[in-house]
Amino acid sequence: MTEPKSYKWFLDFLSPDEGHMHGIETILFAKQTKYQRMEILETKSYGRCLVLDGKMQSSQADEFVYHEALVHPAMLSHPEPKRVFVVGGGEGATVREILRHKSVEKVLMVDIDEEVVEQSKIYLPEWSQGAFDDPRVELRYMDARKYLEETKDNWDVIIIDISEPVEEGPAYLLYTKEFYKIVQNRLGKSGLISLQAGSAAHTSLTCFAAVYQTLKAVFPYVGGYQATIPSFGLPWGFTVASTRIDPRAIAPEEIDRRIKERIKGGTKYYSGEIHQGQFLFPKNVRNSLERFDRIIEDNQPLYTYH
C-alpha cells in the first residue's frame, strides 16, 4: 500500500503553522499579473488548480462544490432571479452556475484583474464552459465597489466571489460594512447576496465570524453555512443575506423542486438535503458565530494570513 510519495509539492499555508500539501504533476502557467501572483498547477490528487498569491482558489476535482455552494442558495431562494451581479469570479465558474438558472436574463461580472479572466479561458476552460460568450453576460474590468457606488441599476442577486482580504491585496475593501450597505442599496425587493468567507473550522473562525456579524449589522436575514471543499484543507464558510427572504425557511422538498424546475442539467452537489444541512453548525461553532463581537469597517479592516 505504500506508494512512493510525490517529490514536487505545492504547500498551501493556511497560517504560519499549518498547511495543506498537494503533490504537483506539472505547472501550466505562472505569472505576476498587475494585481496578484497567478498560477495554474496540475496536481496529482485534485487535477488542475488555480492558485492566487500562493493560495488554492479552486480545483478541477471540487470546484463544482465551491461554485454550487456559492451560487445556488441565493439563486434558489429568490423567486425568479433575472438580473445577477458578480463581484470578482475571475475564472468564470460562478457565472457558469448562474447561467444554468433558466430565469436569468442578464449577468454583469466586474473583476479587477483582466489577466486572470483571460488566462483562465485558456487554461481552465472547464470552469467557464463558454460562459463568457453567452449573450446574457457582460464583463467589466474595474473596481467593483466603485462600479456599485456609481450605478443606479438594481439586481436580484449579487454574488461576491473574491479572495480573502490580505493587506495591500485587491479585496479588503470588499469585506466591510460600508461595502455591504452599498450592495444592499443595489438589490431589488427580494434581492439576496451571497459570498464565501474563509475557513469554517472552529480553530480559525475569525474571518467567517466577522463577515457574518458585519452582514448582520446590515441585513435582517443572514444565513451562515458551510461546505466541504477537500482541496482547501479546512471546511469552508459562506453567507447568504437578504432584506426580505430567509433561505433557511425554505423546505428541502421545495429546494429539490426548484432545482428540477429551474436549473438546466440539474446539480452535482446541491440538493434539498444539503440545503437543510449546510445551515446547521456544531454548538461551539454556532456560539462563536453568534457571539463574535467585531464588525469590519473601512477604517477597521480585516486581514487574513498570507
Place of cell 427572504: 245
Identified binder of a copy of itself from the candidate list 178, 202, 246, 288, rule CB under 8 A: 202
CB contact at 8 A, 140 and 95: no
Q: How far is the CB of 260 from a copy of itself (least distance, A)?
A: 12
**Is 246 a residue of the active site?**
no
* Positions 229 through 248 that interact with a copy of itself (CB under 8 A): 230-231, 233-235
DSSP 233: S
The residue annotated as part of the active site, out of 12, 161, 246, 293, is 161
Going by DSSP bridges, is the β-strand pair 47-52/37-43 parallel, antiparallel, or unpaired? antiparallel
* Closest to a copy of itself by CB, 105 or 290: 290
Provide the Cα torsion 36, 42, 43, 44; round to 10°: 180
Rounded to whole angstroms, the Cα distance separating 148 from 143 reads 9
Rounded to whole angstroms, the Cα distance separating 113 from 117 reads 7
Task: Tell me: does residue 264 bind a copy of itself (CB under 8 A).
Answer: no
Pick the closest to residue 174 from 112, 228, 234 (CA basis): 112
Binding segment toward a copy of itself, per CB under 8 A, in 88-96, 97-105, 107-115, 220-228: 220-228
Q: Which amino acid is at 34?
A: K
Provide the Cα torsion 193, 79, 128, 304; round to 10°: 20
Identified binder of a copy of itself from the candidate list 152, 264, 268, 291, rule CB under 8 A: 268
Binding segment toward a copy of itself, per CB under 8 A, in 73-81, 146-154, 188-196, 221-229: 221-229
Cα angle, residue 102 at apex, residues 97 and 108 outer, rounded to 5°: 55
* Positions 136 through 165 that interact with a copy of itself (CB under 8 A): none
Identified binder of a copy of itself from the candidate list 151, 154, 276, 288, rule CB under 8 A: 276
Identified binder of a copy of itself from the candidate list 154, 204, 206, 288, rule CB under 8 A: 204
Task: Tell me: does residue 283 bind a copy of itself (CB under 8 A).
Answer: yes
Task: Tell me: does residue 43 bind a copy of itself (CB under 8 A).
Answer: yes
- Provide the annotated active-site residues: 161
